[in-house]
Structure 1
C-alpha cells in the first residue's frame, strides 16, 4: 500500500501565500506544511512509498522532493496533472490511477488531521471493504462541507455538498483507504465524471461508483480536531491544530 496526496490545487483564496506555493506547501506549523504533516502520518503508519499529484506551482514540490524523502523515510513519486488550473480534482485523482492499483491511503493536500485518522482506516479494513472514507460524525455541519449519507449495512448512499446538513450522517474529511481491487472501477468512474463535467470533484466519482452499485464504506474518526484549509480563517485554525500533533 502506498500513500497518495492530491496537491495540484492553486488555493486562490489563500493568496498571497499561494502566489508562489501550492496550497499543500503553505506552512502550518513553523516551516512544516500540510504536505509535511501528511507524509509524516504515512510514515508513522508504516508506509514506505508515497505519490503526490502536483500541478499549480509544481516546481516548489519538485524542489523539496529530496528533503521530504529524507525527512519522512518515504520514496516519493511526483505525478504531473497537466490540467490542474483548468479542471477539478476528479481528473487529479484519475491521474494517479496507476498508483491506485497498489492500494492507497489517499489524503487531500489541504487537510490538517492527526495520524489517528489513518489508523482508524487501517483498523477498518477487511470484510470485503474496498473503499473506506474517513467520516466526521461529531461536527455540526453547514452548507460548504462534503456531506455523506451512509446506511447501516449498505455503506454510502449519497456524497455531496448539496444536501440538507440535517440529513447527513457526517462529513467526509478528505482521507480515504482504497484497496487495490477497487482501482479499476474507481478509475473508470472518475473518467466518466470528469468527461461529464471537468469541474466535478473526485467525490462525484465516488457517487458515480455508488450509483453503479459499488459499495463504499465509512469509518467514523471520533471527535478529533482537523480542518480543511480553503481560506485564511481555515489557515489560522490549521495552525492552531497542527501544533497539537
Structure 2
C-alpha cells in the first residue's frame, strides 16, 4: 500500500499564500504545512511510498521533495497534472490511476486531520470492500460540505455538495482507502466524469461508480478535530487544531 495526495490545486481563496505556493504547502503550524501533516500520518501507519499529484506552482513541491523524503523516510513520486488550473479534481485523481493499482490511502491536499483517520480506514479493511470513505457523522452540516447518504449494508448511495444537509448521513472528509482491485473501474468512472464535465469533482466519479452498481463503503471517523482548508477562516481553524495532533 502507498499514499496518494491530491496537491495540484491553486487555492485562490488563500491568497497571498497561494500566490507562490500550492494550497498543500500553506503552513499550518510554524513551518509545518498541510502536506507535512499528511506525510507524517502516512509514515506513522508504516507506508514507505507516496505519490503526489502536482500542478499549480508544482515547482515548490519539486524543490522540497528531497527534504520531505529525508524528514519522513518516504519515497515520493510526483505526478504532473497538466490541466490543474483548468479542470477540477476528477481529472487530477485520474492522473494518479496507475498509483491506485498499488492499493492507496488517498488524501486531499487541503485536509488537516489526525492519523486516527488513516487507522480507522485500515481497521475497516478485510471484508471484501474495494473503496472505503472516511465519513464524519458527527459534524453539523451546511451547504459547502461534500455530503454523503450511506447505508450500513448498501454502502454509499449518494455523494454531492448539492444536497439538503438534513438528508445526509455525514460528510466525506477527503480521505479514502482504495484497493488496487478497484483501480480500473475507478479510472473508467473518473474518465467518464471529466469527459462529461471537466469541472466535476472526483467524488462525482464515486457517484458514477455507485450508479453503475459498484459498492462504495464508508467508515465513521468518530468525534475528532479536522478541517478542509478552503479560505482564511478554515486556515485559522487548521492552525488551531494542527498543533494538537
- Distance in 1 separating the partners of 2:56 and 2:104: 23
Whole-angstrom distance in 1 between the partners of 2:40 and 2:70: 11
1 CA distance for matches of 2:151 and 2:176?
Answer: 18
1:132-155: CA deviation from partner (whole Å, max 9, x where unpaired) = 000000000000000000012000
Counterpart CA distance in 1 for 2:151 and 2:221 is 17
Cα shift readout 1:149-188 (whole Å, capped 9, x = no counterpart):
0012000000000001000000000000000100000000
TM-score normalised by structure 1 residue count: 1.00
For 2:25, the equivalent position in structure 1 comes to 25
Determine helix, strand or coil for the equivalent of 2:38. helix
CA distance in 2, matches of 1:124, 1:102: 18
- Equivalents in 1 of 2:71, 2:204: separation in Å? 34
The equivalent residue for 2:214 is: 214
Q: Which runs of 5+ in 1 are unaligned?
A: none
**Matched residue of 2:121: which SS?**
helix
Q: Distance in 2 between matches of 1:164 and 1:138?
A: 16
State the aligned residue count: 245
1:118 is matched with which residue? 118
Partner of residue 39, structure 1: 39
Partners of 2:109 and 2:127 in 1: how far apart?
29
> Would you say 1:194 and 2:204 are equivalent positions?
no
Matched residue, 2:8: 8
CA distance in 1, matches of 2:147, 2:86: 25
| 2:77 corresponds to | 77
Give the deviation of 1:126 after TM superposition. 1.2
For 1:188 and 1:13, locate their aligned partners in 2 and report how far apart those are by CA, in whole Å: 31
- 3-state SS of 1:128 partner: coil
Corresponding residue of 2:96:
96
> Matched residues in 1 for 2:16 and 2:227: separation?
20
Q: Please name the residue that 1:229 is paired with.
A: 229
Q: Distance in 1 between matches of 2:22 and 2:37?
A: 15
**Residue of structure 2 in register with 1:176 after alignment:** 176
Residue segments in structure 2 that go unaligned for 5+ positions in a row: none
